Amino acid sequence: MTDQLIDFFLLMKSELLLLAVIFIMLFMNITAKENADGTPVDNNHSILVTANILLLLNFLAGFFMNTSGNLFGDSFTSTELTAFQKNILNLGTLLVSLQSYTWLKTHKHVMEFYMLLLATLLGMFLMISSQHMLLFYLGLELSTIPLAALVNFDLEKKKSAEAAMKMIMMSAFSSALLLFGISLFYGTMGTLHFQEIPAALNGSDLQLYCLILLIAAFGFKISAVPFHFWTADVYEGAPVPVTSYLSVISKGSILFVMTTVLYNVFAGMGVEWYLIICVLAVATMITGNIFAVRQQNLKRLLAFSSIAQVGFILVGMSGQNTEGAVSVTYFIIIYIFSNLAALGVISVVSALTGKEKISDYKGFYKTNPMLSWILAIALFSLAGIPPTSGFFGKFFLLLAGAGNGNYTLVIIAALNMIVSLYYYLKIVKAVFMDANEEPIPTINLAFFPKAGLLICLIGIIVTGLASGSYNYIQELFASL
């Protein structure tokens, strides 16, 4: 009996720890001292410090006591791999939380921000561990509904509310598509368990239709073209930390799940989904890059660039071998560091000056050399230029894609990498070379955002050069 209880706690460790963090913060909110006008006493500082320390502990605890096993009638699974993926998301959330310090310091509803943020993270954890359609659906909804509320977090801005509206409608619509696919699948197979699905696949037309609906729903969430229309609007309207969270953590978690579902559950329909993924990859890369070229708003540009990055990830996913799954996971880690470093700089600048256009960043190097270098290295990593880890990430993705023999796809991806250089370097040129009479004033970073940016910078450089990181992920997949 006690053994079972201990097993239960260990298997659900990530979820339970996160719940503990949520409850501790809830009680802090109840006991917090307030001024007469309802604002916190010391500008939220103590709340933010506690939140970041708790998230750091949560991340560190993710390294220990990871066991494998199933729970709840085999509908929930926990392995070394899922524990690792969850911990990647933990790290990303910690970085987002560190970077949002500047923005949240003067915000009235800090506690609600953390409640919603951690609730979505809990949803992603459930989704990653799910072995049953019901748990998968619940995790997916738990990870998107609070996000819409987060997008609306600049309460006085109309833009923010509009973005939230687009987001909630898109997510409701796409989950309806997903459910329609699931229900027809259920009709053909009579089971909702992931483990029983492979045996029940027969490749009939109806099952193919369901698979398309399923991939379409995934496509909405990872903003693959042609399901990307909400992305740029939502990224621009949302507060910058929420944009980082959306573009990195939320997308990353769905990509983890998508890889697991396609590789393990629908392996029997590999020929069919290989074609779909290839078409999506080409469309996503090309459209994302073409639209990114003409953007003037930095957040919008990064939104389209993140669409293009998803295209590259899909190239890796089309590899249909272990290398494919490994390279996707590896690239998501790199992508978290690179994109969070770029968006972290933008987040600080946006919170302090409200400037988000590329032309506003002219002469940024004169006033903020340190932030300029971080931005430049992050952009180089996103573009995939050698010593940074982005190069290695892209390299392994293309290698995995080539493993399936589809060299046309790999060539298209390589050409797209060249196009993407243009718009990334456009920002670097504005920052380092262009002169400006009124550059952004020198910014004094607080400790937390500085720490967040430094972790990202170290991550960008170390993840690529330390080859052990790729081998470690490979071992995790091999141990399944």
Partner 1 sequence: MGSSILELVHINNYVMLAAILFAIGVMGVMFRRNTIIIFMCIELMLNAVNLLLVAFSTMHSDPGGQVMVFFIMAVAAAEVAVGLAILVMIYRNVKSVDIDILNKLKW
Applying CB under 8 A, the residues found at the interface with partner 1 are: 133-134, 137-138, 141, 145-146, 148-149, 152, 155, 158-159, 161-166, 168-169, 171-173, 175-176, 179-180, 182-184, 186-187, 190-192, 232-233, 236-237, 291
Minimum distance from residue 141 beta carbon to partner 1 (Å): 5
Cα–chain center distance at 44:
27
Comparing CB distances to partner 1, the nearer of 179 and 212 is 179
First and final C-alpha spacing in the chain: 27
Minimum distance from residue 152 beta carbon to partner 1 (Å): 6
Helix (H, G, I), strand (E, B) or coil at 347: helix
Minimum distance from residue 103 beta carbon to partner 1 (Å): 19
Comparing CB distances to partner 1, the nearer of 176 and 466 is 176
Q: The dihedral of CA 266, 226, 184, 146: what is its sign?
A: positive
Comparing CB distances to partner 1, the nearer of 29 and 191 is 191
Under DSSP, the state recorded for 238 is S
Comparing CB distances to partner 1, the nearer of 110 and 168 is 168
Q: Which of 225, 212, 229 is nearest to 285 (CA)?
A: 225
Which H or E run contains 70?
strand 69-71
Minimum distance from residue 217 beta carbon to partner 1 (Å): 12
Which H or E run contains 78?
strand 76-78
Q: How many CB atoms lie within 10 A of CB 346?
A: 24
Comparing CB distances to partner 1, the nearer of 186 and 472 is 186
Minimum distance from residue 209 beta carbon to partner 1 (Å): 11
Contact status, residue 237 vs residue 159, Cβ threshold 8 Å: yes
Minimum distance from residue 244 beta carbon to partner 1 (Å): 18
Minimum distance from residue 368 beta carbon to partner 1 (Å): 28
Contact status, residue 347 vs residue 241, Cβ threshold 8 Å: yes
Comparing CB distances to partner 1, the nearer of 173 and 395 is 173
Tokens representing 471 are: 């081998």
Minimum distance from residue 435 beta carbon to partner 1 (Å): 30
Minimum distance from residue 155 beta carbon to partner 1 (Å): 7
Contact status, residue 40 vs residue 70, Cβ threshold 8 Å: no
Contact status, residue 298 vs residue 287, Cβ threshold 8 Å: no
Contacts of 363 (CB under 8 A, 6+ apart): 434, 435, 436, 439, 440
Comparing CB distances to partner 1, the nearer of 166 and 394 is 166
Contact status, residue 142 vs residue 122, Cβ threshold 8 Å: yes
Comparing CB distances to partner 1, the nearer of 8 and 137 is 137
Comparing CB distances to partner 1, the nearer of 14 and 175 is 175
> How many whole angstroms separate alpha carbon 428 and alpha carbon 425?
5
Minimum distance from residue 296 beta carbon to partner 1 (Å): 11
Tokens representing 127 are: 């989704």
Helix (H, G, I), strand (E, B) or coil at 132: strand
Contact status, residue 29 vs residue 89, Cβ threshold 8 Å: no
Comparing CB distances to partner 1, the nearer of 147 and 280 is 147
Q: Which of 100, 20, 10 is nearest to 57 (CA)?
A: 20
Q: How many CB atoms lie within 10 A of CB 63?
A: 10
